[in-house]
Amino acid sequence: MSCDFSFEIHARDGKARHGTITMPRGEIRTPAFMPVGTAGTVKGLYMDQVRATGADIILGNTYHLMLRPGAERVAKLGGLHEMARWPFPILTDSGGFQVMSLSALRKLTEEGVTFQSHIDGSKHNLTPERSMEVQVLLDSNIIMQLDECIRLPAPDEEVARAMRLSYRWAERSKAAFERLVKPGEGRALFGIVQGGTNPLLRRESAELLTKLDLPGYALGGLAVGEPQHEMLATIEVTEPFLPSGKPRYLMGVGTPDDLIESIARGIDMFDCVMPTRAGRHGTAYTRHGKFNLKNARFAEDTRPLDETSDCSATRDYSRAYLHHLVKSDEMLGQMLLSWNNIGYYQRLMRKARAAIDAGRYADFVAETKEGWARGE
């Protein structure tokens, strides 16, 4: 496979790993949280703010960008890096999840999926080949295979059907990727392990996909309605069948607790809209736990969210001011809380990497959870 991509593991502590992905556009320190830039923007933040929080990579959304402004237009305008002023690595999802969850009308076949845009009702076809083409036009660095993601719970027969279809689409995605991408372009294709919460189906999916010898592997189809303990159990039964020397990406996850528990089970990469979505709704993540800034108890609280933080949004504005902004529905409140939350997620990743290096990851998890439980 033609790609400029390497992954080095620097330290392990149990299943937890500290590593570095190296690509032409930069290094990605793992465990890594990727802020979600759905439509070419991490909602509420400037890109230099995103970078300053410690993010090495962001995620772009294939479905949304192919519908608006269009993949061909993005390419004409210089690609997503140029448009968004983010010169560092970008991962794009395949578009499959949004097709299944957002489109009003859709028809799934072996060939791909025909769907109706949630924006204007226009009809589109998304096949593994078209997904690869769109992601290359967007100038993505880590490209995800097209897969079918179904909501859980679902009958095992339906989960197995979707998983095996996703594998056949992975084969086609790889073939299309290799036709489209020349050596030296700095791109890599990741496969997506499916199988719901069924251990046998997850193993089958992982074993099939690893035969394709892709640079990295994602766990898809989780955080779609199942409780946390089922998600973590699924990671545990899948991890032994994934290559130990390649990065593992848990898609669409999650809360800070989800992240640190998943790292303990061998996960290297994450993405989630949660930190910015929570910020837009008045919630701040901190080392003391979650704060709902709508709460009247913050109305005259002159303390910052966390005076020890290196993030200006967290350290330089009082809780009373943030409460006022949230209650007044002021845009600045949403921006500051989103900035705080992305900053907190990145600090969590930095501390996780340091704890793995020191061989005290379990202590880090316990101390972090104790801080959330204790509050102030």
Task: List active site positions.
Answer: 93, 271
Provide the greatest CA pair distance for the chain.
Answer: 61
Task: Say what angle helices 256-263 and 361-374 make with each other, to 10 degrees.
Answer: 160
Task: Identify the residue whose tokens are 């997850």.
Answer: 202
The CA-to-CA distance between both ends of the chain, in Å, stands at: 52
Do the bridges between strand 289-292 and strand 283-286 make them parallel or antiparallel, or are there none, so unpaired? Answer: antiparallel
181 to 117, 139, 142, 250: CA distances (angstroms): 28, 11, 12, 25
- Nearest CA to 322 out of 311, 336, 308 is that of 336
163 to 40, 153, 219, 251: CA distances (angstroms): 29, 14, 12, 16
Task: Identify the residue whose tokens are 């009809």.
Answer: 123
Dist CA 184 CA 187 (whole Å)? 8
Dist CA 213 CA 174 (whole Å)? 10
Q: What angle do CA 10, 54, 136 make, to 5 degrees?
A: 85
- Nearest CA to 341 out of 366, 309, 364 is that of 309
Dist CA 44 CA 242 (whole Å)? 36
Q: What is the CA radius of gyration of the chain?
A: 20
Q: What angle do CA 200, 204, 210 make, to 5 degrees?
A: 140
209 residue type, one letter: L
- The count of residues in the chain is 376
- Nearest CA to 205 out of 145, 153, 141, 135 is that of 145
| Residue 104 CB contacts under 8 Å (≥ 6 apart), including other chains | 116, 118, 121
